[in-house]
């Protein structure tokens, strides 16, 4: 029976080519956009390497030390005493009048003395945000970005190593002059081609007037995270002495905590916030309070986009805005298709009349028309998929997203399939339902067969 | 006549409701997209206020724990060495909040009888020449300002207009920072035209330039204006020279021209994406609308035939159809306007109200034109119907 419906659907499509074109245009374009959006979210939030453990991560990008200033406003009451008006201060009101804040990444001292052994945490890593500097090789300028970090970094972020291995905490303590290079940096610096990265291992590279030995080469990172996209990863013990010996809390390191498992991230956040209340500050006369906002992976993503005061709030807003915008975007083509279908379906009232006269139920009719619409949607879906693929390659090729590389994988394919199905049912249901309720007599009478 | 048309619309309320919904959603989407694009473009077309061509910047990352005399000596040496390079036109030092750095240093208070919040830029006496600022009143800093009683500052035109409108500002004193970080008062010695230092798409904020001598610890960033038509190896020479003078190599020379383009690209990208998505949505809606109208009109052939027989001219017929669809569109637009008006009233986003009004006008205009185009051909078809043929068919 489905085969019959299928043949019929194809025949109907061929009947009025202009309308078929309008429907397919709308469907394929809408699905193309939705597929691109899916590919984007898959790249950014899908947990591809090195973010395989993204559900267990808790971020502390920066810390804030501050002092709250208060205005004291005396409350004055007046009384008559011996015929003379007397004023008396009966109380004080305190109002927050301003803050002196210092906000930024933390120093090594802060992380190693106050942020060790947080309950529910398996590993903790600290790293600098990427810094770029120029290197000249045979008069060619290379701009490298570097990240100073520790050995846990590579336990938390599962980079794909094309050659060699990461450095560990032992090498960090020994102040070993070793680096992990990105694939592109390796190609540019050593002129090594794809597939032969093993040759780079053990070679020397000069960075900031120091010689380092290459011990690992990592695959390209597709998402937009600055510190993960660095060209060079260096053990932080090689940083400048003023970075290493900084006594104050603010410095240049951010931290990622790996919770024992995904359900413990909230406990980690709570424990971290609890700590901020008890950590003694080194210079209380200047700043006497410490505040920071730990965020999970998705919260942090929303936070960096919206920059609201708290990560949870940013996440809620971003999610709300996304759902709102997607609904709005989805609504228009759906309405368009419903409109078109409702007009067109009247053409076939005689067919429906005859089928009903021969004993078809409303349910049969409903199913047939929804099925036809799903067939149409899937044809549009295939076109959309091809368009999306072409557009994706154009976007990646033109560096439109500034270094973020979108990729298609089977997950995107599955999501796209579900999107097509949903779209087909949604836009086909109302016209089909309307048609299935038409009375036989009216259906046959209105039209010449 | 109009009343009659409303009756006709009402009789087909279910079909017209879907059309209305479609118009309404199209309007809302267009409104949102236009509001975003118009507000951005208006900022984009306001002047940047400084040159980016051939101006390079290098952040020397001088640590605050270094010895100040050593830093002063090093910077004096660097300044001399750089100026000695034949490719260099001028050199200046500024603090971390410099063009396209993304850094902001701001302060504000209400001690002067007005409330203000201003960005602060620390610059030396050579910055105006290096960056190509346009000074519309007074003068830029000079070396002798180092010993002035009050810290000399220049303010931007926007600051002047907002806080000192109609009053002379040159040589007047005001409190810039509550904590007296610059002494109790600062003295205005000039006004700078524009300084949109966060990029072409960033709304200009109030700005104050504060004098910091080139030997100061706070001014980390060297701005270098290069001569036009220099050799490509100039950058390597410059890099080597800075590295050997500062004794460190972990810095990058940023070309401001390139940074300006990169910074703008981060706004152009979502704008172009939004424009193309909404563009296709509109084409999609237009095609759908065209199909529906065409189909509906061909369903009403007998009605048209009857009206023609009773004496209606062909222009009467097309007028009727066009008015019908325009009425439905107007209802959709008015309901849309009601919701759109909430944005400026409730101040939901931090953009100027005028942008919303432009967005309302342009989205209403686009939709009306689109509907007119889509309705034109089908109603022409309807008007050309031959009454004899149609009545015969039925």
Distance CA B159, CA B192 (A): 10
Exposed (0-12), middle (13-18) or buried (19+): which is B110, by Cβ within 10 Å? exposed
Check residue A349 and give its pLDDT. Answer: 78
Question: Which one of A208, A332, A343 has the shortest CB-CB distance to B26?
Answer: A332
Please provide the DSSP assignment of B122-149 as one string. Answer: EE-TTHHHHHT--EEEE----GGGGG-S
- Do A139 and B250 count as a contact with CB atoms less than 8 A apart? no
pTM score of the predicted model:
0.79
Query: Minimal CA–CA distance to A108: which of A241, A229, A279?
Result: A241
* Element housing B99 (H / E): none
Tell me the C-alpha distance between A151 and A165, whole Å.
11
Could you give phi then psi for residue A37, rounded to 5 degrees? -60, -45
What pLDDT, on a 0 to 100 scale, did the predictor assign at position A92? 66
Residue A87 has pLDDT above 70, yes or no: no
What residue in B sits closest to A23 (Cα-Cα)?
Answer: B288
Chain A: residue nearest B239 by CA?
A134
The answer to whether the Cβ–Cβ distance between A136 and B250 falls below 8 Å is no
Q: Give A268-308 pLDDT, tens digit per residue.
A: 999 999 999 888 888 787 788 888 999 999 999 888 887 77
Of B245, B108, B257, residue with least CA distance to B179: B108
Tell me, what's the pLDDT at A99? 67
Partner-chain contact A242 B63, CB within 8 Å: yes
Report the C-alpha gap between B7 and B3 in whole angstroms.
Answer: 6
Torsion of CA A35, A41, A47, A53, to 10 degrees: -150
Q: Which of B28, B240, B249 sits opposite A208 (nearest CB)?
A: B249
The C-alpha angle with vertex A336 and arms to A330 and A339, in degrees rounded to 5, equals 135
Q: What is the 3-state secondary structure (H, E, C) of chain A?
A: CHHHHHHHHHHHHHHCHHHHHHHHHHHHHHHHHHHHHHHHHHHHHCCCCCCCCHHHEEEECCEEEEEEEEEEEEEEEEEEECCEEEEEEEEEEEEEEEEEEEEECECHHHHHHHCCCCCCEEEEEEEECCEEEEEEECCEEEEEEEEEECCCHHHHCCCCEEEECCCCHHHHHCCCCEEEEEHHHHHHHHCCCCCCHHHHCCCEEEECCEEEEEEEEECCCCCCCHHHHCCEEEEHHHCCHHHHCCCCCECCEEEEEEECCHHHHHHHHHHHHHHHHHCCCCCCCCCCEEEECCEEHHHHHHHHHHCCCCHHHHHHHHHHHHHHHHHHHHHHHHHHHHHHHHHHHHHHHHHHHHHHHCCCCHHHHHHHHHHHHHHHHHHHHHHHHHHHHHHHHHHHHHCCCCCCCCCCCHHHHHHHHHHHHHHHHHHHHHHHHHHHCCCHHHHHHHCCC
Would an 8 Å CB–CB cutoff place B250 in contact with chain A? yes
- Reference B58, options B201, B233, B259, B216; nearest CA is B259
Measured distance CA(B232)–CA(B212) in Å, rounded: 32
Residue A448, Ramachandran bin (φ over 0: left; ψ between -120 and 50: alpha; else beta): beta
d(CA B140, CA B124): 9
Q: Which of B:25-44 have CB within 8 Å of A?
A: 25-26, 28-29
> Where residue A180 falls among pLDDT bands split at 50, 70, 90?
very high
B47: left (phi over 0), alpha (psi -120 to 50) or beta: beta
Whether B334 and chain A come into contact, CB under 8 Å, resolves to: no
Q: Give the number of C-alpha atoms closer than 13 A to the C-alpha of residue A244, restricted to the C-beta side.
A: 11
Pairwise CB contact (< 8 Å): A29 & B63 = no
Residue A266 is predicted with a pLDDT of: 92
Q: Is B248 an 8 Å CB contact of chain A?
A: yes
Longest alpha-carbon distance in chain B: 104
Q: Is the CB of B266 less than 8 angstroms away from the CB of A402?
A: yes
Task: Report the mean per-residue pLDDT for chain A.
Answer: 84
Euclidean distance between CA atoms B290 and B284, whole angstroms: 10
| Sign, CA torsion A300/A302/A303/A304 | positive
Query: Which residue from A minimizes the CA distance to B267?
Result: A401
Question: What dihedral angle (degrees, nearest 10) is formed by the CA atoms of B76, B81, B85, B90?
Answer: -10
Contact A333 B281 (CB under 8 A): yes
CA distance A350 to A372: 17
Which pLDDT belongs to residue A95?
A: 62
B269 contact residues in A (CB cutoff 8 A): 400-402
Q: How far is CA A17 from CA A201, A380, B388, in A?
A: 62, 14, 29
Are the beta carbons of A209 and B235 separated by less than 8 Å? no
Cβ–Cβ gap A134/B25 under 8 Å: no
Partner-chain contact A333 B19, CB within 8 Å: no
DSSP states of B189-225 as a string?
A: EEEES---TT-TTSPPPPEEEEE--TT-SS--EEEEE
Interface test with B, best of A97, A330, A339 (most B CBs within 10 A): A339
**Quick one: pLDDT at residue A449?**
42
**What digits encode the pLDDT tens for the residues A409-428?**
777 778 777 887 888 888 88
The answer to whether B309 faces chain A, any CB pair under 8 Å, is: no
Please indicate whether, in this complex, the C-beta atoms of B296 and A340 are within 8 angstroms of each other.
no
Q: Across residues A5-14, what is the average pLDDT?
A: 83
Taking an 8 Å cut-off on Cβ atoms, the answer to whether B18 and A339 are in contact is yes
Please write down the HEC assignment for all residues of B299-356: HCHHHHHHHHHCCCCHHHHHHHHHHHHHHHHHHHHHHHHHHHCHHHHHCCCCCCHHHH
Measured between CA atoms, the residue of chain B closest to residue A28 is B284
Instruction: Answer yes or no: do A342 and B15 touch at CB < 8 A.
Output: yes
Give the residues of chain B that fall short of pLDDT 70: 1, 64-65, 393-394
| Residue ranges of domains in chain A | 2-49+317-446, 64-102, 130-244
Q: Label residue A121 by pLDDT band (50, 70, 90).
A: very high
Q: What residues of A are in contact with residue B285 (Cβ under 8 Å)?
A: 332, 336
pLDDT tens digits along A325-379: 888 888 888 888 888 888 777 777 778 888 888 888 888 888 888 888 888 888 8
Of the partner residues A133, A340, A400, the one whose CB lies closest to the CB of residue B252: A133
Residue pair B349/B343 in contact by the 8 Å Cβ criterion:
yes
Burial B301-320 (b: 16+ CB within 10 A, else e): beebbebbeeebeeeebbbb
pLDDT at A448 (0 to 100): 46
For chain A, the residues whose C-beta falls within 8 A of a C-beta of chain B are: 18-19, 22, 25-26, 29-30, 33, 98, 100, 131-134, 136, 139, 141, 143, 146, 207-209, 240, 242, 328-329, 331-333, 335-340, 342-344, 346, 400-402
- Rounded Cα distance between B21 and B332, Å, is 7
Q: B287, A133: Cβ pair inside 8 Å?
A: no
Separation of first and last alpha carbons in chain A: 23
From the centroid of its chain, how far is CA B154?
25
Q: Is the Cβ pair A141, B235 closer than 8 Å?
A: yes
Taking residue B354's Cβ as centre, other Cβ atoms within 10 Å add up to 12
Q: Are A192 and A199 spatial neighbours (Cβ–Cβ below 8 Å)?
A: yes
Stretch A105-127: mean pLDDT? 91
Question: pLDDT digit string (tens) for A241-259?
Answer: 878 888 888 888 999 999 9
Identify the pLDDT of residue B376: 86
Contacts of B225 (CB under 8 A, 6+ apart): B51, B54, B55, B56, B88, B89, B90, B91, B129, B130, B131
Chosen for mutation from B252, B253, B290 (greatest number of chain A CBs closer than 10 Å) is B252
């Amino acid at each position: 029976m489905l085969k019959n419906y299928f043949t019929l659907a194809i025949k109907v499509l061929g009947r009025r080519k202009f309308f078929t074109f309008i429907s397919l245009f709308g469907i394929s374009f809408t699905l193309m956009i939705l597929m691109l959006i899916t590919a984007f979210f898959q790249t950014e939030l899908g947990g591809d390497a090195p973010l395989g453990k993204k559900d267990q991560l808790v971020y502390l990008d920066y810390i804030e030390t501050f002092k709250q200033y208060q205005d004291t406003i005396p409350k004055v009451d007046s009384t008559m005493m011996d015929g003379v008006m007397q004023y008396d201060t009966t109380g004080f009101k305190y109002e927050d009048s301003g803050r002196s804040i210092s906000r930024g990444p933390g120093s090594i001292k802060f992380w190693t003395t106050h942020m060790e052994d947080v309950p529910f945490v398996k590993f903790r890593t600290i790293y600098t945000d990427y810094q770029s500097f120029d290197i000249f090789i045979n008069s060619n300028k290379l701009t490298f970005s570097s990240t100073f970090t520790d050995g846990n970094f590579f336990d938390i972020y599962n980079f794909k190593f094309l050659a060699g291995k990461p450095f560990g905490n032992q090498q960090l303590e020994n102040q070993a002059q070793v680096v992990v290079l990105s694939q592109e940096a390796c190609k540019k610096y050593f002129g090594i081609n794809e597939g032969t990265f093993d040759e780079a291992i053990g070679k020397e590279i000069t960075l900031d007037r120091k010689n380092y030995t290459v011990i690992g080469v990592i695959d390209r990172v597709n998402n937009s995270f600055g510190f993960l996209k660095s060209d060079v990863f260096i053990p932080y013990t090689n940083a400048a002495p003023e970075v290493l010996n900084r006594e104050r809390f603010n410095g240049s390191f951010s931290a990622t905590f790996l919770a024992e498992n995904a359900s413990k991230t909230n406990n980690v956040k709570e424990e971290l916030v609890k700590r901020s209340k008890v950590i003694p500050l080194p210079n209380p006369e200047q700043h006497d309070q410490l505040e920071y906002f730990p965020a999970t992976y998705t919260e942090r993503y929303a936070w960096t986009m919206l920059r609201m005061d708290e990560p949870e709030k940013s996440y809620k807003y971003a999610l709300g805005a996304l759902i709102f915008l997607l609904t709005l975007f989805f609504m228009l083509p759906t309405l368009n298709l419903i409109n078109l279908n409702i007009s067109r379906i009247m053409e076939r009232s005689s067919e429906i009349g005859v089928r009903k006269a021969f004993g078809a139920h409303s349910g049969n009719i409903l199913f047939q028309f929804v099925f036809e619409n799903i067939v149409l949607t899937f044809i549009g879906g295939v076109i959309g998929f091809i368009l999306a693929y072409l557009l994706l390659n154009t976007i990646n090729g033109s560096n439109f997203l500034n270094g973020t590389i979108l990729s298609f994988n089977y997950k995107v394919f599955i999501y796209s399939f579900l999107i097509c199905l949903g779209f087909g049912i949604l836009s086909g249901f109302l016209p089909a339902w309307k048609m299935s309720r038409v009375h036989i007599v009216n259906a046959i009478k209105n039209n010449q067969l | 006549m109009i009343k009659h048309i409303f009756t006709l619309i009402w009789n087909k309320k279910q079909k017209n409701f879907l059309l209305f919904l479609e118009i309404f959603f199209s309007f809302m989407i267009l409104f949102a997209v236009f509001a975003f694009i118009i507000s951005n473009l208006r900022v984009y077309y306001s002047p940047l206020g400084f040159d980016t061509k051939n101006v390079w910047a290098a952040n020397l990352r001088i640590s605050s724990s270094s010895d100040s005399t050593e830093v002063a000596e090093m910077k004096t040496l660097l300044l001399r060495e750089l100026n000695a390079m034949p490719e260099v036109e001028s050199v200046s030092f500024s603090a971390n909040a410099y063009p396209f750095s993304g850094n902001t240093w701001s302060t504000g208070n209400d001690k002067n009888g007005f409330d203000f919040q201003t960005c602060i830029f620390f610059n030396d006496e050579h910055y105006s020449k290096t960056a190509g600022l346009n000074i519309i009143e007074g003068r830029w800093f000079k070396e002798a300002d180092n010993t002035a009683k009050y810290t000399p500052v220049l303010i931007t035109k926007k600051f002047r207009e907002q806080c000192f409108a109609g009053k002379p500002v040159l040589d007047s004193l005001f409190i810039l920072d509550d904590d007296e970080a610059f002494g109790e008062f600062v003295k205005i010695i000039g006004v700078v035209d524009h300084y949109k230092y966060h990029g072409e798409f960033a709304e200009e904020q109030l700005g104050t330039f504060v004098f910091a001598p080139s030997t100061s610890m706070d001014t980390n960033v060297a701005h270098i204006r290069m001569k036009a038509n220099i050799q490509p190896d100039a950058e390597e020479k410059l890099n080597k020279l800075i590295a050997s003078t500062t004794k460190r190599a972990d810095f990058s020379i940023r070309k401001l021209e390139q940074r300006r383009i990169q910074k703008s690209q981060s706004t152009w990208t979502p704008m172009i994406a939004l424009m193309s998505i909404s563009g296709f949505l509109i084409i999609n809606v237009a095609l759908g609308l065209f199909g529906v109208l065409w189909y509906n009109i061909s369903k009403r052939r007998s009605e048209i035939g009857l009206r023609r027989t009773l004496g209606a001219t062909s222009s009467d017929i097309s007028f009727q159809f066009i008015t019908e669809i325009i009425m439905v569109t107007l209802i959709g637009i008015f309901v849309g306007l009601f919701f759109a008006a909430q944005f400026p009233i409730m101040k939901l986003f931090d953009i100027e109200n005028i942008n919303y009004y432009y967005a309302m006008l342009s989205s209403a205009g686009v939709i009306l034109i689109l509907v007119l185009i889509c309705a034109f051909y089908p109603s022409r078809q309807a008007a050309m119907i031959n009454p004899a043929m149609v009545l015969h068919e039925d």
